[in-house]
Structures are given as structure tokens and as C-alpha cells.
A and B are shown apart, each in its own frame.
Chain A
Amino acid sequence: MIQNQLQNRLENPNAAVAPIRAGASVRFEGVVKDFAGHRALADFDLTLHAGEFVALLGPSGSGKTTALRVLAGLESTDAGTIRIDGTDVSTLPTSRRDLGMVFQSYSLFPHLSAGENVEFGLRMRKVRGEERRARAAAALALVGLDAHYDRFAHQLSGGQQQRVALARALVTEPRVLLLDEPLSALDAQVRVALREEIRRIQTELGITTLFVTHDQDEALAVADRVAVMRDGSIEQIGAPEELYTRPASSFIADFVGLSNRLVGVVRHGFAQVQGVALPLVDPSQADGPVSVSVRPEDLEFSAAGAPGVVLSSSFHGSLRRTKVRLGDGTALVVQHGARLHPSAGERVTVRFTGAPVSVDPISAPA
């Protein structure tokens, strides 16, 4: 199966490869995990479909790593079940869950070469010498490191170490691949290259993957679906585009992408902000005072709009973000093309493009 796949790649590295098998499905049902009085997972539910790449995104302490670790069996659950392909694995020891995992910190065994590291899982499964070495070499070839079989961890760069760790996690053909912030120790360029590599390999092998990260760019760039966690449960789960364009709350709007927070009022299914009526992501929102989240790209400079003064402007390659203070003191970030170059102190007028906004009710002060 994966072995043949790996061999094919070795012999014909440029061939396009179709997914070779559907991965396993994973289901968390009402999982609870407490740490010394702190609830890390609160009635946590999540389903990963076979072959799906799901990113768990959230601020530190939101429980994302705990969710991954209970799936791996590295932490026990206090309640709830975890099923892989319908079988309850909650009480199985880690070594018998048939998972591959890449850790945040470099986890290669320092006393073994890269190849021997990859062989380790096969050795545990009593795979014999020649076959073991061939499979390890094929897995290293998959991550582009077949020439580094004899190198030790301290002779490899951080990115190479994480690639070897990925090969080591994949060589046993696990049912699920778990990635615990595997890129966070790497520098920016290597990070982007490796995350694309991970996605390519995942697509080729069709392995169900749970990817924990606190970096929204990373999550949005590689995942089929992104689950944003807060206080031990999932606040919203959906395709990256859905999460970005239709955030369920201002927490999501703030956490996924940039967002301006404005005070407004919901009336008759529209948010009234700065004298403009904006459509709502969730039209069923009850009337009342709200905090409105507006994306910087949903604002533009236009002749007709609210007048303001430019505070600062920053360059981001193909675009610019300009901070403007409106007449009433509200500060806004406007995203626009890089050709426009407003300077501090310049007078501008800002207009809402009319894209749907997400809102959070503000409780009236007592």
C-alpha cells in the first residue's frame, strides 16, 4: 500500500500520485479532560472524515494540544469516547493506537541515525532487516532526504529533522497522522516550504491528519477544515474560506484574520455602524447594541464616506494597510492596493464595501 506508493515515488519522483487508500475516520464524543482543577477539554466533539486534513487552531491554553494528546493516548480522558473507524480507542495504550505523530520539539532519537530513526517503528512491528531498511529509505525519499540516511540529528538542520520525524511517523502506515505544531520551531521560509510539503504528502497518501497550530496562516493555508478552539471546546469549524468570510463570533473574526471592532446596533436584520446599514453573517441576530467586526478589506477609500485622518500606513507586498482615525475618534485599519500610498496626516474618506459582518451583543451596563 503506502510501501508501494513510496517505492513508486522513489523510482519515479515526478509522477502524479493518486491517493492510495482512504485514511481512518476519527470521532471525539463528549471528551472531558481536567488538569488540576482546570478544564482543558470541555465536552469536546469533533469528527475527522477519512482522509481529511483538519487543523485545530486556537490561542495557547485553548485545549488544542490536549485534544491531540488524548487522541494519541498520551493523556487519558476523564469522560467521553474517542473512536477511530468506529472502534473505541479511549482505553488503548498509545503504542497500540496505530498513529503517527510529529512533535513540536525535535524528537529524533539522538543515538540513532536518520534512517535508524525511521526504522524504529518498523522494528517495533518486527519487520525484518532488508524490508525494514528499504521501507525506511523509501519514507526518507518521500520527504526528500534519502541521501541523509546515515546522518544523526545533530548533523541535520531543524527543517530536516522535522522531515525525518515526518518520515518516521508515516513509515508504519498509521491510521491517523498527528501533527503537534511541527513547524513552530522553524524559521519563516522553511515553515512555508515544509507546510506545503506536508500537505502534498498528506494528499498523496490520503492519510487522515489532525494538525494543531496557533498560526492562523498555517491552518488556513493547508487544512481542508479548520476548527477554532476556545476554552476547551470548538467555537467554529468549517472550510478556511467559510471561517474567514463568515466568522460565527467576533472571537473568530479577531482570531482568524484581521478585524476592526466597532460599536453598532442591530436593527431589522442589519448592523447599523457609522450611519451605514451592513448585512449580517447571521441574520437571525436579535436587535440591540452590538460590537461589529469589519475586515480591513471590507473598507475602502472613496469620495463618499466617513472623513478621517491617516495615522500610519504599512507595506505588505502586494497590498497596504492604512490606519485611519475617523471624526468621532474611532480608529480603523483599511486594506488597499500597494499603489495607493497615503501618508500620515492626510485627509481621507472611508467607506464600507457592504460585505456581511459578524456581531457580538453588548450587554447594556447596569
Chain B
Amino acid sequence: MTTKEYESYYVPAQSKWPIVGAVALFLIAVGAGSYVANLNNPESVGGGWVLIAGIAMVIYMMFGWFNNVITESMSGKYSHQMDNSFRQGMSWFIFSEVMFFAAFFGALLYARTFSVPWLDGAGNNAATAAILWPEFTATWPLIKTPDGTETTAMGWYGLPLINTILLLTSSVTAHFAHVALEQEKRGLLKFWLGTTVLLGMVFLYCQGLEYAHGYADEMKLYLDSGIYGNTFYMLTGFHGMHVTLGTIMLLVMFIRVLKGHFTPKNHFAFQAASWYWHFVDVVWVFLFVFVYII
């Protein structure tokens, strides 16, 4: 048997990037931990700077690590099998992200289906309602909590609907960009990919507007406005963070396209960014249905 029968699998040499990334995560955890733990402590030095240093280090690591990977890939060291490893790795990573959102969707559905009605006496909880929360009426969205905090529900029309259209469109344009890449139409690729990035940015801008609207005095919809505000901001907030990350990924892809990277056969990074984009899009559809409409 000769080596020619198999493409050899590239095993990288020692790399300093993982340990840089480990130290960066450590700084982020220590920084964020001391920042959060001392939120209400004016005398504390806080962990803000450590957190920022950690984030800077993560960015440094990403540049270095991805630079290595891109150089190796473009010099033809990666076999088809390696490409598969990357693809499978990315898809399982996205699956883990789905499960992260599932925890928060679970909290939302549990609160709506069980805990809020129970506080109003549903099931065998009549005594709970009568003794602990006699004033409380179960509604969803929960605009008045058992302890009396009042808030306003965010409607689904207006900005959320516009955002839904923006994201759905961007998923289509991302797909067009992918098709253009596979057909070697670089001009179209740049156009559709650029459009996708723009749509992502407009989405984030609209979400910022929506948050400002929620935090304004007319709505009083805050993160701590009871379980409705909690689930609203945590779900849309984490989704927004993922959109931000996805937009950055697509932007990097755009810059790489301008530099002439990617071929119709070899474009794992582009594919990964596009998968990620479709994933945040699907999450938004669920958000729109369960957080806004129903």
C-alpha cells in the first residue's frame, strides 16, 4: 500500500494559539466574574479592564489561529477529509447553540404554561393563589407580576415584523451568494454577500431601536420586569449577540472574497459563516412566533 492511495490527513504542528485562547478565556471569566460580583459595590476596582484585556486577547487569538488555518488551506495542505472534519465540527457546534437557546425557550414555555397559571391557582394551586398572591391574575404577556411590577408587552408589528423580513431576506441573499460562489460569479458573490452583511447591520440597528423603545418610560419594559421582560430580553439579547457574531463572520468572509479567497470547491469558512447565518435566522423565526406573536 502506498501513501498515494490515501490523501494524508494534515496534523498541524504545535500551536501557541490554543493556550493564548485559554488564557484569554481565563481573563474573561475572572474579569466578568469580578465585574458582575461587584456591580453594587462602588468602591470596587471591578474587573472591567481584565474583561476587556481578555476580549482583546481572544480577538488576537482568532486572527492568529484563523490566519494559520487560512494559510494552510490555501497552500493546499487540506484534504477532502480535513474539509469534512471542519464541516462536521461546525454543524455540531451549531447544534450545541441550538440547545443553548432551547434552555431559554424551555424557560419561556414553562413559565407560560405552568408557573404563571399556577401562581393564579391553576391545577391544585388554589391555596398558593389565595394565600400568597391574592391580587395576582395570570396573563400572558405577564404585564403585572405577582409582586406588582407593571410593564407593557412588545407588539409583533412594527419593528419586530420589519426585522423578521430583514432576516428572512438576508438568509435568501446569503444563499444567493453561496450559489454565485459555486458558479464562479465573483461579481454577484460580492453583491449578495455585501447585501447580507448590510441587512444584518440594519437588523441590529432596528433591534437597538426596539430596545430603546422598550426601555423608554412609555413602555417600562426592562430586563427585570418579571418573567416576561426576562425571557424577552434574554432570548432576543442572546439572539442579537449571535446576529452580531454572524455579521462579523460574514464581514470577514466579504473581506476574504475581496482578497480573492475561496473557490467553488473549497470554501469551508464561507459555508460555515452561511450556516451560522441560517441558524440565527431560524432561531429568529421561533423567537418571532413564541416571544412576539403568541
Chains A and B come from one and the same complex? no
